Amino acid sequence: NYSNGNSFDFQGRQLSCEHLTRRVTRYENDGTATVLADNYNGKKLNSPNDVVAHPDGSYWFTDPPYGGQLYEGEPDAAGGPSNAAGKLNPK
């Protein structure tokens, strides 16, 4: 899923920012994936890029605005915020 910004939490589980699916995931020790975040206030994330575990148990991540572009992620459907005209950016 074009993961980026991989790191580990304090239990040794991998944390990944996935550009294609526009989400932050944690890979459990048994191999399953838990989605930590895929939206904010009902809107899909842009392109999560870096994630780190905080000692208080929370996860902090960045979400720069380039996820709707074809080369970095999955563009919004026609009419969506990053594809308002319904055209894909081939760059």
What is the mean predicted confidence (pLDDT) over 2-24?
92
Mean pLDDT of the 13-24 span? 92
Q: Where exactly are the structural domains of the chain? A: 1-91
Reading the block at residue 88, the tokens are 């894909």
Positive or negative, the CA dihedral 61, 62, 67, 73 is: negative
pLDDT in tens, 40-88: 999 888 889 999 999 999 999 999 877 555 555 566 667 766 667 777 6
pTM of the predicted structure, to 2 decimals: 0.74
Give the class (CATH, top level) of 1-91.
mainly beta
pLDDT of residue 90: 41
Contacts (Cβ under 8 Å, ≥6 apart) of 48: 4, 5, 17, 18, 19, 22, 23, 24, 37, 61, 62, 63, 67
| Residue 18 near residue 70, CB atoms below 8 Å | no
